Amino acid sequence: MLHFQITANDGAARTGELRVKAGVVHTPAFMPVGTLGTVKAMTPEELREVGAEIVLANTYHLHLRPGEQVVENLGGLHSFMHWEGPILTDSGGYQVFSLSALNTVEEQGVHFRSHLDGSALFLSPESAVGIQEALGSDIMMCLDHVLALPAQEADLEDAVARTGRWAKRCLEARRGAQALFGIVQGGTSQTLRHRSAEEICALGFDGHALGGLSVGEAPQQMYDTVAFTVPLLPPQRPRYLMGSGEPGDLLAAIACGVDMFDCVLPTRNARNGSLYTRHGKISIKQARYREDPAPLEESCPCPTCRNYSRAYLRHLYVSSEILSMRLNTYHNLYFFLDLMRQARGAIAAGRFAAFAADFLAAFNSGKVVA
Protein backbone atom coordinates (compact mmCIF):
# COMPACT_ATOMS: atom_id res chain seq x y z
CA MET A 1 0.00 0.00 0.00
CA LEU A 2 2.86 2.40 0.76
CA HIS A 3 6.61 1.82 0.70
CA PHE A 4 9.04 4.44 1.86
CA GLN A 5 12.76 4.15 1.41
CA ILE A 6 15.28 6.72 2.53
CA THR A 7 18.11 6.96 0.03
CA ALA A 8 20.30 9.57 1.74
CA ASN A 9 20.57 11.39 5.05
CA ASP A 10 22.24 14.76 5.61
CA GLY A 11 22.01 15.70 9.26
CA ALA A 12 18.33 15.35 10.10
CA ALA A 13 17.36 16.00 6.48
CA ARG A 14 16.68 13.02 4.28
CA THR A 15 15.76 12.22 0.71
CA GLY A 16 13.91 9.13 -0.39
CA GLU A 17 11.29 7.42 -2.48
CA LEU A 18 7.69 6.96 -1.51
CA ARG A 19 5.89 4.31 -3.56
CA VAL A 20 2.17 3.87 -3.83
CA LYS A 21 0.15 2.01 -6.43
CA ALA A 22 -0.15 5.09 -8.66
CA GLY A 23 3.58 5.79 -8.77
CA VAL A 24 6.75 6.97 -7.11
CA VAL A 25 7.22 10.25 -5.26
CA HIS A 26 10.71 11.55 -4.64
CA THR A 27 10.99 13.22 -1.27
CA PRO A 28 11.17 15.90 -0.01
CA ALA A 29 8.08 16.49 -2.13
CA PHE A 30 5.78 19.45 -2.61
CA MET A 31 2.14 18.65 -3.41
CA PRO A 32 0.25 21.24 -5.49
CA VAL A 33 -3.25 21.74 -4.16
CA GLY A 34 -6.10 20.58 -6.39
CA THR A 35 -9.03 21.42 -4.14
CA LEU A 36 -11.86 20.39 -6.45
CA GLY A 37 -9.98 17.83 -8.50
CA THR A 38 -8.02 20.39 -10.51
CA VAL A 39 -4.93 22.39 -9.62
CA LYS A 40 -6.30 25.79 -10.55
CA ALA A 41 -5.32 26.92 -14.07
CA MET A 42 -3.18 23.83 -14.82
CA THR A 43 -3.61 20.65 -16.82
CA PRO A 44 -2.25 17.36 -15.45
CA GLU A 45 0.26 17.33 -18.31
CA GLU A 46 1.59 20.70 -17.15
CA LEU A 47 1.82 19.44 -13.56
CA ARG A 48 4.05 16.64 -14.84
CA GLU A 49 6.13 19.15 -16.80
CA VAL A 50 6.80 21.33 -13.76
CA GLY A 51 7.82 18.25 -11.83
CA ALA A 52 4.82 17.45 -9.64
CA GLU A 53 4.70 13.77 -8.68
CA ILE A 54 1.74 13.91 -6.29
CA VAL A 55 -1.20 16.28 -5.87
CA LEU A 56 -3.53 16.98 -2.98
CA ALA A 57 -7.31 17.12 -3.23
CA ASN A 58 -9.83 18.18 -0.59
CA THR A 59 -12.33 15.76 0.86
CA TYR A 60 -14.69 18.44 2.18
CA HIS A 61 -14.86 20.26 -1.14
CA LEU A 62 -15.19 17.14 -3.30
CA HIS A 63 -17.87 15.79 -0.98
CA LEU A 64 -19.92 18.92 -1.73
CA ARG A 65 -19.04 19.10 -5.44
CA PRO A 66 -19.45 16.81 -7.31
CA GLY A 67 -19.90 14.32 -4.45
CA GLU A 68 -17.73 11.24 -3.90
CA GLN A 69 -20.35 8.95 -5.41
CA VAL A 70 -20.12 10.77 -8.73
CA VAL A 71 -16.34 10.49 -8.63
CA GLU A 72 -16.48 6.80 -7.68
CA ASN A 73 -19.02 6.01 -10.40
CA LEU A 74 -16.69 7.64 -12.91
CA GLY A 75 -13.81 5.42 -11.90
CA GLY A 76 -12.26 7.37 -9.03
CA LEU A 77 -10.43 10.63 -8.73
CA HIS A 78 -7.40 9.68 -10.87
CA SER A 79 -9.58 8.90 -13.86
CA PHE A 80 -12.03 11.74 -13.14
CA MET A 81 -9.34 14.41 -13.14
CA HIS A 82 -7.03 12.67 -15.66
CA TRP A 83 -4.10 12.55 -13.22
CA GLU A 84 -2.61 9.10 -13.12
CA GLY A 85 0.00 9.85 -10.48
CA PRO A 86 -0.33 9.62 -6.71
CA ILE A 87 -3.04 11.63 -4.95
CA LEU A 88 -3.27 12.52 -1.28
CA THR A 89 -6.64 13.61 0.09
CA ASP A 90 -7.02 15.62 3.23
CA SER A 91 -9.80 14.72 5.64
CA GLY A 92 -11.80 17.89 6.11
CA GLY A 93 -10.02 18.55 9.40
CA TYR A 94 -8.48 21.73 8.01
CA GLN A 95 -11.97 23.06 7.24
CA VAL A 96 -12.79 22.67 10.95
CA PHE A 97 -10.32 25.55 11.29
CA SER A 98 -10.76 27.48 8.03
CA LEU A 99 -14.57 27.32 8.08
CA SER A 100 -14.85 27.48 11.87
CA ALA A 101 -17.79 29.90 11.68
CA LEU A 102 -19.70 27.23 9.77
CA ASN A 103 -19.15 24.19 11.99
CA THR A 104 -19.42 22.71 15.46
CA VAL A 105 -17.27 19.89 16.73
CA GLU A 106 -18.67 17.15 18.93
CA GLU A 107 -17.28 13.76 19.87
CA GLN A 108 -19.05 11.96 17.08
CA GLY A 109 -17.75 14.31 14.39
CA VAL A 110 -18.15 17.77 12.87
CA HIS A 111 -21.41 19.42 11.84
CA PHE A 112 -20.86 21.81 8.91
CA ARG A 113 -23.11 24.16 7.12
CA SER A 114 -22.00 24.11 3.48
CA HIS A 115 -20.04 27.23 2.49
CA LEU A 116 -21.92 27.05 -0.84
CA ASP A 117 -25.58 26.89 0.15
CA GLY A 118 -25.76 26.51 3.92
CA SER A 119 -27.02 22.92 3.74
CA ALA A 120 -26.08 20.62 6.62
CA LEU A 121 -23.36 18.03 6.36
CA PHE A 122 -21.70 15.85 8.94
CA LEU A 123 -18.13 14.62 8.82
CA SER A 124 -17.05 11.88 11.21
CA PRO A 125 -13.80 9.93 11.33
CA GLU A 126 -15.66 7.07 9.66
CA SER A 127 -17.29 9.15 6.94
CA ALA A 128 -14.06 11.06 6.25
CA VAL A 129 -12.34 7.74 5.55
CA GLY A 130 -15.35 6.47 3.62
CA ILE A 131 -15.37 9.53 1.37
CA GLN A 132 -11.63 9.22 0.76
CA GLU A 133 -12.04 5.53 -0.08
CA ALA A 134 -14.77 6.40 -2.56
CA LEU A 135 -12.54 9.07 -4.08
CA GLY A 136 -9.82 6.44 -4.35
CA SER A 137 -6.84 8.53 -3.29
CA ASP A 138 -3.49 6.83 -2.65
CA ILE A 139 -2.94 8.44 0.72
CA MET A 140 -5.81 9.31 3.07
CA MET A 141 -5.60 11.57 6.10
CA CYS A 142 -7.32 11.03 9.45
CA LEU A 143 -9.98 13.47 10.51
CA ASP A 144 -8.36 15.68 13.12
CA HIS A 145 -9.43 18.57 15.32
CA VAL A 146 -7.60 21.70 14.18
CA LEU A 147 -7.73 24.85 16.33
CA ALA A 148 -6.71 28.36 15.36
CA LEU A 149 -3.73 29.69 17.31
CA PRO A 150 -3.35 31.13 19.85
CA ALA A 151 -5.70 28.80 21.73
CA GLN A 152 -6.37 28.02 25.36
CA GLU A 153 -4.28 25.16 26.75
CA ALA A 154 -7.44 23.34 27.83
CA ASP A 155 -8.91 23.59 24.34
CA LEU A 156 -5.67 22.33 22.82
CA GLU A 157 -5.63 19.40 25.28
CA ASP A 158 -9.18 18.58 24.36
CA ALA A 159 -8.37 18.74 20.62
CA VAL A 160 -5.30 16.52 21.06
CA ALA A 161 -7.33 13.94 22.97
CA ARG A 162 -10.13 14.00 20.40
CA THR A 163 -7.65 13.78 17.52
CA GLY A 164 -6.25 10.66 19.17
CA ARG A 165 -9.65 9.03 19.60
CA TRP A 166 -10.62 9.95 16.04
CA ALA A 167 -7.34 8.52 14.74
CA LYS A 168 -8.23 5.11 16.20
CA ARG A 169 -11.70 5.31 14.68
CA CYS A 170 -10.22 6.21 11.27
CA LEU A 171 -7.93 3.19 11.38
CA GLU A 172 -10.82 0.93 12.33
CA ALA A 173 -12.97 2.39 9.57
CA ARG A 174 -10.47 1.70 6.81
CA ARG A 175 -11.57 -1.16 4.59
CA GLY A 176 -9.31 -1.01 1.53
CA ALA A 177 -5.64 -0.86 0.71
CA GLN A 178 -5.23 2.93 0.64
CA ALA A 179 -2.52 4.31 2.88
CA LEU A 180 -3.64 6.29 5.94
CA PHE A 181 -1.64 8.95 7.75
CA GLY A 182 -2.12 9.98 11.37
CA ILE A 183 -1.94 13.65 12.36
CA VAL A 184 -0.16 15.06 15.42
CA GLN A 185 -1.82 18.09 17.03
CA GLY A 186 -0.96 20.19 20.09
CA GLY A 187 -0.51 23.79 18.99
CA THR A 188 2.89 25.15 19.95
CA SER A 189 2.93 23.29 23.27
CA GLN A 190 5.84 20.87 23.63
CA THR A 191 3.95 18.90 26.25
CA LEU A 192 0.92 18.43 24.03
CA ARG A 193 2.91 17.72 20.86
CA HIS A 194 4.82 15.08 22.81
CA ARG A 195 1.63 13.51 24.10
CA SER A 196 -0.03 13.59 20.67
CA ALA A 197 3.01 12.18 18.86
CA GLU A 198 3.28 9.26 21.28
CA GLU A 199 -0.38 8.48 20.99
CA ILE A 200 -0.61 8.77 17.19
CA CYS A 201 2.66 6.99 16.43
CA ALA A 202 1.67 4.03 18.57
CA LEU A 203 -1.28 3.29 16.30
CA GLY A 204 0.69 2.06 13.28
CA PHE A 205 -0.09 4.56 10.53
CA ASP A 206 1.61 4.51 7.14
CA GLY A 207 2.92 8.00 7.73
CA HIS A 208 2.64 10.90 10.13
CA ALA A 209 1.67 14.51 9.68
CA LEU A 210 2.19 17.65 11.68
CA GLY A 211 -1.19 19.37 11.70
CA GLY A 212 -2.43 22.54 13.34
CA LEU A 213 0.44 24.75 12.15
CA SER A 214 0.36 27.85 9.93
CA VAL A 215 -2.92 28.65 11.66
CA GLY A 216 -2.02 31.94 13.34
CA GLU A 217 1.25 31.33 15.20
CA ALA A 218 4.45 33.30 14.41
CA PRO A 219 6.84 31.66 11.92
CA GLN A 220 9.48 31.10 14.59
CA GLN A 221 6.92 29.32 16.79
CA MET A 222 6.10 27.11 13.85
CA TYR A 223 9.76 26.35 13.19
CA ASP A 224 10.36 25.58 16.87
CA THR A 225 7.36 23.28 16.99
CA VAL A 226 8.47 21.43 13.86
CA ALA A 227 12.01 21.10 15.20
CA PHE A 228 10.71 19.73 18.47
CA THR A 229 8.08 17.39 17.07
CA VAL A 230 9.73 15.78 14.05
CA PRO A 231 12.24 13.76 16.11
CA LEU A 232 9.26 12.24 17.94
CA LEU A 233 8.01 10.66 14.70
CA PRO A 234 9.44 7.27 13.61
CA PRO A 235 12.14 7.94 11.01
CA GLN A 236 11.22 5.00 8.78
CA ARG A 237 7.80 6.51 7.96
CA PRO A 238 7.15 9.59 5.80
CA ARG A 239 6.58 12.85 7.63
CA TYR A 240 4.25 15.48 6.28
CA LEU A 241 4.00 19.13 7.36
CA MET A 242 0.50 20.22 6.44
CA GLY A 243 -0.30 23.57 4.86
CA SER A 244 3.02 25.42 5.27
CA GLY A 245 4.58 26.67 2.11
CA GLU A 246 6.85 29.71 2.01
CA PRO A 247 10.26 28.59 0.72
CA GLY A 248 11.80 29.38 4.10
CA ASP A 249 9.21 27.15 5.80
CA LEU A 250 9.97 24.28 3.45
CA LEU A 251 13.73 24.50 3.87
CA ALA A 252 13.51 24.81 7.66
CA ALA A 253 11.24 21.77 7.86
CA ILE A 254 13.36 19.73 5.45
CA ALA A 255 16.35 20.43 7.67
CA CYS A 256 14.39 18.85 10.53
CA GLY A 257 13.55 15.72 8.51
CA VAL A 258 10.15 16.51 6.95
CA ASP A 259 9.41 14.70 3.67
CA MET A 260 6.14 16.09 2.32
CA PHE A 261 4.45 19.46 1.97
CA ASP A 262 1.35 21.02 0.53
CA CYS A 263 0.35 24.64 0.29
CA VAL A 264 -1.84 26.92 -1.83
CA LEU A 265 0.80 29.68 -1.79
CA PRO A 266 2.41 29.12 -5.20
CA THR A 267 -0.94 28.75 -6.96
CA ARG A 268 -2.94 31.35 -5.04
CA ASN A 269 -0.13 33.90 -5.12
CA ALA A 270 0.20 33.33 -8.85
CA ARG A 271 -3.42 34.27 -9.39
CA ASN A 272 -2.83 37.38 -7.29
CA GLY A 273 0.19 38.38 -9.36
CA SER A 274 2.75 37.54 -6.67
CA LEU A 275 5.56 35.68 -8.41
CA TYR A 276 8.54 33.87 -6.93
CA THR A 277 12.08 34.51 -8.09
CA ARG A 278 15.46 33.53 -6.69
CA HIS A 279 15.74 37.05 -5.32
CA GLY A 280 12.35 37.25 -3.68
CA LYS A 281 8.76 37.80 -4.68
CA ILE A 282 7.67 40.17 -7.45
CA SER A 283 4.29 41.88 -7.58
CA ILE A 284 3.82 41.85 -11.33
CA LYS A 285 1.14 44.54 -11.35
CA GLN A 286 3.63 47.25 -10.40
CA ALA A 287 4.04 50.12 -12.86
CA ARG A 288 7.80 49.55 -12.94
CA TYR A 289 7.21 46.48 -15.12
CA ARG A 290 5.05 48.32 -17.67
CA GLU A 291 7.74 48.29 -20.38
CA ASP A 292 10.15 45.79 -18.85
CA PRO A 293 11.34 43.52 -21.68
CA ALA A 294 13.12 41.10 -19.33
CA PRO A 295 11.70 37.71 -18.46
CA LEU A 296 10.32 37.30 -14.97
CA GLU A 297 13.53 35.49 -14.07
CA GLU A 298 16.48 35.45 -16.45
CA SER A 299 17.79 32.06 -15.38
CA CYS A 300 14.45 30.25 -15.23
CA PRO A 301 13.87 27.69 -18.01
CA CYS A 302 10.07 27.57 -17.63
CA PRO A 303 7.97 28.57 -20.67
CA THR A 304 6.65 31.65 -18.89
CA CYS A 305 10.19 32.97 -18.52
CA ARG A 306 11.40 31.71 -21.90
CA ASN A 307 8.56 33.18 -23.94
CA TYR A 308 7.16 36.26 -22.23
CA SER A 309 8.33 39.60 -20.88
CA ARG A 310 7.47 41.09 -17.52
CA ALA A 311 5.66 43.80 -19.49
CA TYR A 312 3.39 41.20 -21.11
CA LEU A 313 2.80 39.41 -17.79
CA ARG A 314 1.87 42.76 -16.24
CA HIS A 315 -0.46 43.54 -19.15
CA LEU A 316 -2.22 40.18 -18.78
CA TYR A 317 -2.54 40.63 -15.02
CA VAL A 318 -3.96 44.16 -15.08
CA SER A 319 -6.32 43.07 -17.86
CA SER A 320 -7.54 40.08 -15.77
CA GLU A 321 -6.73 37.70 -18.60
CA ILE A 322 -6.98 33.96 -18.01
CA LEU A 323 -3.55 33.48 -19.56
CA SER A 324 -2.16 35.56 -16.68
CA MET A 325 -3.28 32.94 -14.17
CA ARG A 326 -1.92 30.16 -16.37
CA LEU A 327 1.54 31.62 -16.96
CA ASN A 328 1.91 32.81 -13.37
CA THR A 329 0.81 29.49 -11.90
CA TYR A 330 3.12 27.56 -14.18
CA HIS A 331 6.09 29.64 -13.12
CA ASN A 332 5.35 29.58 -9.38
CA LEU A 333 4.83 25.82 -9.36
CA TYR A 334 7.99 25.37 -11.40
CA PHE A 335 9.81 27.47 -8.82
CA PHE A 336 8.54 25.40 -5.88
CA LEU A 337 9.08 22.03 -7.51
CA ASP A 338 12.54 23.05 -8.70
CA LEU A 339 13.34 24.08 -5.14
CA MET A 340 12.39 20.55 -4.05
CA ARG A 341 14.56 19.03 -6.80
CA GLN A 342 17.49 21.14 -5.68
CA ALA A 343 16.88 20.24 -2.04
CA ARG A 344 16.88 16.53 -2.86
CA GLY A 345 20.10 16.91 -4.81
CA ALA A 346 21.73 18.87 -2.01
CA ILE A 347 20.77 16.24 0.57
CA ALA A 348 22.11 13.44 -1.64
CA ALA A 349 25.35 15.42 -1.98
CA GLY A 350 25.58 16.08 1.75
CA ARG A 351 25.45 19.86 1.36
CA PHE A 352 21.86 20.69 2.29
CA ALA A 353 22.68 23.21 5.02
CA ALA A 354 24.88 25.26 2.69
CA PHE A 355 22.33 25.03 -0.11
CA ALA A 356 19.50 26.23 2.13
CA ALA A 357 21.61 29.09 3.52
CA ASP A 358 22.61 30.24 0.04
CA PHE A 359 19.07 30.00 -1.27
CA LEU A 360 17.60 31.98 1.60
CA ALA A 361 20.34 34.62 1.47
CA ALA A 362 19.43 35.32 -2.16
CA PHE A 363 15.68 35.00 -1.63
CA ASN A 364 15.72 37.41 1.31
CA SER A 365 18.28 39.76 -0.23
CA GLY A 366 15.71 42.42 -1.00
CA LYS A 367 16.97 42.71 -4.58
CA VAL A 368 13.35 42.58 -5.67
CA VAL A 369 10.48 43.86 -3.57
CA ALA A 370 7.01 42.32 -3.35
Chain-centre distance of CA 284, in angstroms? Answer: 25
Q: Which is nearer to a second copy, 195 or 326 (CB)?
A: 326
Q: Which stretch binds a second copy (CB under 8 A): 157-165, 204-212, 217-225, 305-313?
A: 305-313
Q: Pick the catalytic residue: 90, 144, 206, 259?
A: 90
How do beta strands 120-123 and 139-141 pair?
Answer: unpaired
The least distance separating a second copy from the CB of residue 142, rounded to whole angstroms, comes to 26
**51 to 70, contacts with a second copy by CB under 8 A?**
65-66, 70
Q: Does 326 bind a second copy (CB under 8 A)?
A: yes
Catalytic residue among 10, 259, 262, 338: 262
Q: Any contact of residue 291 with a second copy (CB under 8 A)?
A: yes
C-beta separation of 170 from 176 below 8 A: no
144 part of the active site: no
Residue 141 neighbours by CB under 8 Å, 6+ apart: 59, 88, 89, 90, 91, 93, 132, 180, 181, 183, 209
x/- contact string, 8-37, with a second copy (CB under 8 A)? ----------------------------xx
Distance, CA of 184 to CA of 235 (rounded, Å): 15
Task: Say if CB 167 and CB 200 are below 8 A apart.
Answer: yes
The answer to whether residue 264 forms part of the interface with a second copy (CB under 8 A) is no
If one asks whether residue 289 binds a second copy (CB under 8 A), the answer comes out as no
Rounded least distance, CB 235 to a second copy, Å? 38
CB of 296 to a second copy, least distance (A): 13
Question: Which of 99, 121, 311, 360 is close enough to bind a second copy by CB under 8 A?
Answer: 311
Residue 138 known to be catalytic? no
223 or 312: whose CB is closer to a second copy?
312
Rank residues 220 and 307 by Cβ distance to a second copy and give the closer one: 307
**Identity of the residue, 101 or 287, whose beta carbon is nearer to a second copy in the bound complex:** 287
Nearer to a second copy, 19 or 315 (CB): 315
Nearest residue (CB) to a second copy, 312 versus 355: 312
Within residues 70-129, the interface with a second copy by CB under 8 A covers: 70, 73-75, 80-82
- Shortest CB 283 distance to a second copy, Å: 17
* Contacting residues toward a second copy, per CB under 8 A: 36-38, 40-43, 65-66, 70, 73-75, 80-82, 290-291, 293, 303, 307-309, 311-312, 314-316, 318-319, 321-323, 325-326
Which residues have a catalytic role annotated?
A: 90, 262
